[in-house]
Amino acid sequence: MGAEAGVREMQRTRFDLQQLSVLGKEYHSEERVVGYYTSGDRMKYWGDMGAFWGGLWDSLAGAAFFVVPGIGPVLIAGPLGAWVVNTMEGAEAVDGLSVLGAALYSIGIPRDSIRRYESALKADKLLLVAHGTVEEVEGAKDVLRRTQPAEVNLHFAEEGAMSLA
């Protein structure tokens, strides 16, 4: 799986995993139980991709589950979950964008890119987001390219940059 390989490669190159998020749409299966629970600061997932998400939640800071209108159930590992919560709590709605899109917009991602990322999530793709200084993110871009993602994009904001694969 590309996102899992990307996370492992980022870890191998000592990229600060506190600056990494992975997003994916929940995969439903009528034949299998899917469930979530939290215990303290840990989250557990049962389903077809349980080992994948469990490994991410053990490696990355934070875990979240949201139902995003127009996209469906979305799982997030890493700090992007907190950005979504901050966007919801701050009522920072952005015309025409979901709460996830508004959170991405609030950290400097342009609208046209947000629409592509939301479409990718709807199509059951995974998004990996690395954020940090321009130098850190340019290094992350090079690392991520080695894992052969569908695409890698850089976005620059006032506080730094983001690389999405």
pLDDT in tens, 94-113: 677 888 888 888 888 888 88
| Percent residues over pLDDT 90 in the chain | 0
What tens digit of pLDDT does each residue of 124-146 get?
888 888 888 888 888 888 888 88
Tell me: pLDDT of 32 over 70: no
- The span from the first CA to the last CA of the chain, in angstroms, equals 13
| Higher-confidence position of 46 and 63 | 63
Does residue 34 carry a pLDDT above 80? Answer: no
Question: At residue 63, does pLDDT exceed 80?
Answer: no
Extract the tokens encoding 38. Answer: 């939290």
Which has more pLDDT, 30 or 107? 107
For residue 19, is pLDDT > 80? yes
Among 80-89, 126-135, 146-155, the least confident range? 80-89
Mean pLDDT of 5-24: 84
pLDDT band at 149 (very low <50, low <70, confident <90, very high): confident
pLDDT at 160 over 70: no
Paired tokens of 30: 């009528």
Report the percent of the chain where pLDDT is more than 70.
71
Can you give the pLDDT at residue 18?
85
pLDDT of residue 138: 85
pLDDT of residue 33: 44
CA distance 84 to 87: 5
